[in-house]
Amino acid sequence: MMTMTRWHDIDVDWTAMPGALPAMHAEISPAQLLLVCRRVREEGGRLVSLWGEDRSEGSAAYRLCVVLDTATCLRVIECPIHSDAPTYPDLSGIFPSAARLQRATFDLLGLRAMGSDERPWLRHSGWPADYFPLRAGAGPAPTEAARKPYPFVRVEGDGVHEIAVGPVHAGTIEPGHFRFSVVGEKVLRLEAHLGYVHKGIEKRFEGMTLAEGIRLAARVSGDSTVAFAWAYAMAAEALTETQVPERALMLRALLLERERLANHLGDIGAIGNDAGLAFGLAQFSRLKEDLLRVNAKLWGARYPMDALVPGGVKSDLSREGVQLLLDSMTALEQELQVLRDLYDNHAGLQDRFMDAGVVTPELAQQLGVVGLVARASGQAQDWRASLRMAPYDEASVKAITGERGDVAARVDVRFDEVSDSLRLCRHFIATLPAGPICATPGTLRSGALAIGGVEGWRGPVLVALRVLADGRITRCHPHDPSWHNWPALEHAIINNIVPDFPLINKSFNLSYSGHDL
C-alpha cells in the first residue's frame, strides 16, 4: 500500500520510493517543478541531478527527471513533456549547476530548457545537431558533423590575452579544454570546455540486464568504481526487492572507505608535488601503493572494479584478511602522523596552499557545490551522515568541514577524512556480522524509476535506473558530483596566477569521465 504525503503547501503528492536510499517521488507538471525547486532552494536544499528520458508513451513521450537533496531525504521528480513541444522551464536561475546538465540533456535527447544557454556541451562535432542519441529509435550513428569552434565567452580590454590548454594536457590526466583570459599572470576568467571523453555510456546501458550493467557502472569513473557500483547496485536492488545481507553492506562500506583512503592519499601527495614538494608525492604514493597491494591480496584486484554485484559482494573476507587489514591500517596511521606534521610545519608548502583557489562558504552555497570541495568551504554535507543509511547509520559519521575554502582547507579536510575513514574501517571490521554475502533478487518492478546513491570520496554519487518487463535496462543515468564542482573551479581560479592552476585544479581533483559519460 503506497502512502502519499504533502510537502509544505505545494499541491503535489509524494510517494516513498522503495530501496535503501530515503527518497520521495512525485510526478508533476513543469510549473509545479519550478515551485518545488524554489522551495527546496529557499530551505538550503541542493540540486543533485537532472536528466531526460524518452518513454515513447503517446504524446507525453519525454520525461524530465530532477533529483533534489533536502537534508534528510532526496526528492525525485518526473515531469512528463510533450513531444510536439519538447521544452521545460530553465532551472539554472534557481540552481546554477543545472545549466550544463540542461545543455547535456538537450545534446542527448533534444529537450530544451527555455531561455537557457543554447551552446552544445557534450556534442562537439562527433554527430550532427539533429541527431539525439537517447531518443527511442535514434538509429545508428550518423557521420561526423562539420567542425565548428566552440564559442567561448571573450574577455575584452587592454592587455587581455587568452591561453588555450588541452584537450591533451602536459601530465597524465584526463582530457578537457581550459580557456584562460589573463592579464600578465593574473587569471581574469577561466572557461572549461568538457565532453572530450563522452563515450555514450548512457546509450550503452540500454538493453543490458541488471547483472551486466554493474560492470559498466563500475567504469563510469575509474577512481570511484566502488561508489558507482554501489549506487547502481542499490538502484537495482530497489527494483528487484532485494534485501542485501548486513555482512555484504559492511564489506561494501569497507571497500568504499578504502577507495576514499586511496584517492585522498594520492591527492595529498600530488597536491604537495604541485606546490613543489616532490617529497610529498614520493611518500604518499608509497602509502597508496601499500594500500593497493593489500587490496590485491584481499580482493584480487588493486582497484576492485568488479567486487560488487547486485545483491551483495563477490568475495568474502577471511579472518587472516581481517588481521592483514588491521596491521596495514596501524602502519598507515603511524606514517600519517609523521607526514601530516611535516606538511603542517612546512612554511613553503603552507605558503602555496593558503589563500590559493578560494571558494568562500557563500559562493559554495550559491553555486550548489557538493562533496569534499563543499565541506572545505564550510558546508556540512555528507550523505553518510545526513541520509542515515546502513551501515553508516550506526557509525556516527559527521561531515568534516573546513572554513577557509582554499587549497589548504581542501588538504586539511582530506587529512581529517583519512583519519575518519580509518576509524570507520575499524568500526566495520569490529562489528562485521557473520552470514551470507549475497542475496538472490526478488520480484522485478518493471517500468518504475529507482535510485541509489552513496557519498563517494569526491562527493555524492547517484545512479537512476529503469528496466522493462523483460528485465533489460531502458534508462540508466549515472551522476558524478563533478558536475556541480567544475563551475566552482572556474570561480576559484579568478585573480590567482596561471602557474597556480595545476595546484588548485588538483585540490579539486574532478572527474572528466564521470562528467562526460
Residues that bind other proteins (CB under 8 A): 124-127, 131, 133, 138, 140-142, 144, 147, 167-168, 170-175, 195-201, 203-204, 215-216, 219-223, 225, 266, 279, 281-283, 285-286, 288-289, 292, 296, 302-303, 305, 338-339, 341-342, 345-346, 511-513, 516
User: C-beta of 291: minimal distance to other proteins in Å?
Assistant: 11
Neighbours of 385 (CB within 10 A): 17
Which is nearer to other proteins, 147 or 319 (by Cβ)? 147
Q: Using CA atoms in the order 409, 410, 415, 420, what is the torsion angle rounded to 10 degrees?
A: 100
Which is nearer to other proteins, 96 or 128 (by Cβ)? 128
Q: How far apart are CA 233 and CA 246, in angstroms?
A: 15
User: C-beta of 110: minimal distance to other proteins in Å?
Assistant: 14
CA separation, residue 428 to residues 237, 288, 452 (Å): 22, 21, 21
User: C-beta of 504: minimal distance to other proteins in Å?
Assistant: 19
For residue 182, which of 201, 160, 203, 167 has the smallest C-alpha distance? 160
CA separation, residue 515 to residues 221, 339, 447, 479 (Å): 8, 33, 26, 7
What is the rounded radius of gyration, in angstroms, for the C-alpha atoms of the chain?
Answer: 23
User: C-beta of 209: minimal distance to other proteins in Å?
Assistant: 14
Distance of CA 379 to the CA centre of its chain: 17
User: C-beta of 480: minimal distance to other proteins in Å?
Assistant: 11
End-to-end CA distance of the chain: 37
Q: How far apart are CA 195 and CA 126, in angstroms?
A: 11
The phi, psi pair for 272, rounded to 5°, reads -60, -45
Which is nearer to other proteins, 278 or 380 (by Cβ)? 278
Which is nearer to other proteins, 157 or 171 (by Cβ)? 171
| Contact present, 400 and 416 (Cβ < 8 Å) | yes
User: C-beta of 131: minimal distance to other proteins in Å?
Assistant: 7
User: C-beta of 353: minimal distance to other proteins in Å?
Assistant: 17
User: C-beta of 507: minimal distance to other proteins in Å?
Assistant: 17
Q: How far apart are CA 224 and CA 371, in angstroms?
A: 13
Which is nearer to other proteins, 288 or 484 (by Cβ)? 288
Which is nearer to other proteins, 131 or 152 (by Cβ)? 131
Distance of CA 329 to the CA centre of its chain: 27
Q: How far apart are CA 478 and CA 101, in angstroms?
A: 12
User: C-beta of 67: minimal distance to other proteins in Å?
Assistant: 23
Q: 3-state class of 113 per DSSP?
A: strand
Which is nearer to other proteins, 107 or 417 (by Cβ)? 107
Q: Is the bond into 167 cis (omega within 30 degrees of 0)?
A: yes
Which is nearer to other proteins, 280 or 368 (by Cβ)? 280
Question: How many CA within 13 A on the CB side of residue 350?
Answer: 9
User: C-beta of 177: minimal distance to other proteins in Å?
Assistant: 9
User: C-beta of 144: minimal distance to other proteins in Å?
Assistant: 7
Q: How far apart are CA 41 and CA 46, in angstroms?
A: 6
Which is nearer to other proteins, 263 or 386 (by Cβ)? 263
CA separation, residue 485 to residues 420, 481, 490 (Å): 23, 7, 9
Q: Which three cell numbers stand for residue 485?
A: 564542482
- Residue matched to cell numbers 597524465: 172
Phi-psi region of 400 (alpha: psi -120 to 50; beta: other; left: phi over 0): beta
Which is nearer to other proteins, 2 or 347 (by Cβ)? 347
| Contact present, 418 and 261 (Cβ < 8 Å) | yes
Which is nearer to other proteins, 52 or 266 (by Cβ)? 266
